[in-house]
Structures are given as structure tokens and as C-alpha cells.
Amino acid sequence: MFYFGCMIRSAPESDSTCAAPPSCDDATPEGRARAASVARGILRLFARHDIFGMTEVPLPNGRRLDIMAIDARGQLIAVEIKCSRADLLGDGKWQDYFDYCDRYYWGVPAGFDLHLLDLPALWPERTGLIVADAYDAEIIRPAPTEPLAAARRKAETLRFARRSARRVSGMVDPGFSVGVLGSG
């Protein structure tokens, strides 16, 4: 296991050794890099538990998940990455992801104020919590399982498989484009 230095929940608010993490603001290269590091750590954690996923997954409702993964039992796992207080509290669309997963996690960088994720408005009883850096991650609060309906599971699993295959095909032949046929 690894150590997150400032991750301890009981750390005093005024602890000067625990500077606030930089933002994951997609508008900046630093923000995109920070979010990518968190995603990398989470995907490494998942792989050790026979869970495999991908990033930047568009959903039928027009939203985009930061990570969608599937476990050995076929359960779908959603992860929304948040790197700043403003990003977390200013995002009202995360509840739209519950229709597409069996388990939902918040993914945050080391040093993030974890107390924020216990706020009732962020549904701590329905959401899990993962803290990550670029090299590893730790599940701080497991996500409860709320199974998808069978028809939805089938549709989302098929969509996940096709998207994965399309991405692998793109790595094998980067010049090939499927155009409109690739939207499924």
C-alpha cells in the first residue's frame, strides 16, 4: 500500500503541509494533467481487482463519464473525478450518471478535503470514494451496489464492449475512421 501524506481525515484544517491540490479544470493543461493522473491511479487500482475501464465515456443522455469500468461479474462502475472544491460543489450533473452504473465513485487527488464528500447533498450513502495519484489509488469508502435493470445492463454492456473494441481498432489502425457508423 502507499501513503497519501495529507489524506488523513483528522488532519487539522490549518495544517500548512497540506496545500490544496491544483484544480482539474479542463480549460487548463495543468488541470487536464491532474485529472489524467487521478484516472491513471484509479485504473491501476481497478486492474488489480479484475476491473477494467476506460476514460472519457459519452453516455446516451449527452453526459460524459470520466471513467466507466466493468468488473468480472458484469457490474458497471462509474467514476467522476473532482480535483477542486469549486469543481465538486459547482457540478450539478453527476446525478445523471446513476442510470448507467451499478456503483458510483468520486475520484479525488491526494490532499483533497475529504470532508466535503460527506456532505448530504453529495449522497455519501450512495457514492463511494477513491483517492488517487498517478501511480496508485485507495478506496476510502466502498460504493454500495444498486443493480441496473436487466435491459439497461445489456444495452450499457454492449455499448461498453463496442466502444472498447472501437478504441482498440483505432490503436491498430490510427488512420481509419468509421464516421457515422462509429457512434454506437
Distance, C-alpha 8 to centroid of its chain: 21
How much is the pTM?
0.81
Is 181 a member of any domain?
no
End-to-end CA distance of the chain: 39
- What CATH code is carried by the domain that includes residue 52? 3.40.1350
Digit-coded pLDDT (tens) for 43-68: 999 999 999 999 999 999 999 999 99
Is 134 a member of any domain?
yes
Is 20 a member of any domain?
no
Q: How many CB atoms lie within 10 A of CB 22?
A: 15
Q: Put the strands of the sheet holding 103-109 in their side by side order.
A: 52-58, 64-70, 76-81, 103-109, 128-132, 137-141
**Total domains in the fold of the chain:** 1
Digit-coded pLDDT (tens) for 92-111: 889 999 999 999 999 999 99
State residue 165 phi and psi, 5-degree precision. Answer: -65, -40
Pair type for strands 128-132 and 103-109: parallel
